[in-house]
Amino acid sequence: MPERAARLAGEFVELGILTKDHRGAKRVQPIDLPSATRVLPTPTPFRLPTLLLYTPQVLYSCSLADRRLGRDSLEKTVCAFVSLTAHVEDADFDIDRAARLVAIFNKLRLFYPRPYLCLFDSLALLDFLVQHGLSPRWIFGVRSEPFEAHCWLQAHDIVLNDSIERVSSYLPIMST
């Protein structure tokens, strides 16, 4: 198991989300979350100057996510973003604006030298969207046999950074 994955699993055990002993385990209770039924619409194409305008913000979000995951616990990281997003109303989520920003982030993310990891990418994208006044939910889910944990961003029933097929195979257990 990679070092970061082992550290994350250890944090879930410390928080009581996971257990090493199945005899003391409780059944996983899903959280109240609308089922993912839609993905973001495809935004209108944008030009190079638009990408250049957003480059510093995307790189900042990626480096912040990298630093947080390298030095802070998952609990501290999640709590920091909960406090950042507490003032943003979920009902005000602008889907078209989110689609454009996610597309820009995805294009520029390629220039940040780090392999894909759902935790890192969701955290970096979340920070980028919060900079622009958008606050999706950060969802953590699990599945068994074999056990696997995953996270993604979602607004209402719209998945922002994954596919419906993939997230549907996870049981959401925590959300910001």
pLDDT range class, residue 7, cuts 50, 70, 90: low
The answer to whether position 96 is within a domain reads yes
Higher pLDDT: 133 or 13? It is 133
Least confident segment among 10-14, 33-37, 160-164: 10-14
Domain containing 56 equals 31-175
Q: What average pLDDT is seen over the chain?
A: 84
pTM given for the model: 0.81
Task: Please state, for a pLDDT cut of 70, what percent of the chain lies above it.
Answer: 81
The answer to whether position 1 is within a domain reads no
The answer to whether position 17 is within a domain reads no
3-state helix, strand, coil in the chain (%, to 5): 50, 15, 35
Is the predicted pLDDT of residue 97 greater than 80, yes or no? yes
**Cα pseudo-dihedral 167, 55, 82, 94, rounded to 10:** -70
The answer to whether position 148 is within a domain reads yes
Q: CB burial class (10 A; 0-12, 13-18, 19+) of residue 57? A: middle
The answer to whether position 24 is within a domain reads no
Q: How many independent structural domains does the chain possess?
A: 1
Secondary element (H or E) of residue 143: strand 137-143
Render pLDDT for 129-165 as a digit per residue (tens, 0 to 9): 999 999 899 999 988 878 888 999 999 999 999 999 9
Tell me if 126 sits within 8 A of 138, measured CB to CB: yes
Is the predicted pLDDT of residue 26 greater than 70, yes or no? no
